Amino acid sequence: MTLPSLLTYPDFRLRVVAEPVTAFDDGLVTLANDLVAAVVAAPAIGLAASHIGVLRRVIAVRPSEAEAVRVYVNPVIAWASAETMINEEGSVSMPGVSAEIERPRAVRVGYSDLQGISCVEEAEGFHAAVLQHEIDQLDGVFWIVRLSRLKRERVIKRYQKLGSPSASFATLPPRDFPIHS
């Protein structure tokens, strides 16, 4: 199997809202296998299908080094705690830079498995942050948009100094992100 290529910032597809999966077929299984292989090869903690240029609502997440990569189809945050935490975040689509992001400490995520069976998962701590990060990506919210304008500009400058492509998100205004409950 050939590994899929990862998009790099500032590719516009990283800001596109992914379409829901409606067909639970061999094509979905192939996409899931590609995502899992990309997570392992990157190595990454999680990836959204949009990271490989497929604008479908599928993520692959490795909850811990000891656990297998899990696939979530059409994931949605059904509940988020009022208590927050701060984690260092980055992206395989913007390698070499990271920043602190504040997110809810716990979430409940509704999703389907590869057969279309509805599931619910509750997550806390770092795993909750990873799920939120990847679901944000499906919603077209690249992680740096969650930073203040000043911090976002600093991250982009650091990324550019690494020899990465010119950036175009620097001028985006900050957005409010409602917590789904």
Contact 145, 69 (CB under 8 A): no
Contact 44, 92 (CB under 8 A): yes
Distance CA 56, CA 123 (A): 23
What are the residue ranges of helices labelled H in the chain?
Answer: 26-41, 125-138, 149-161
Determine which one of 88, 122, 124, 134 is catalytic.
Answer: 134
**Residue 34: what residue type?**
D
Is 102 marked active-site?
Answer: no
Instruction: Please give the positions annotated as active site.
Output: 134
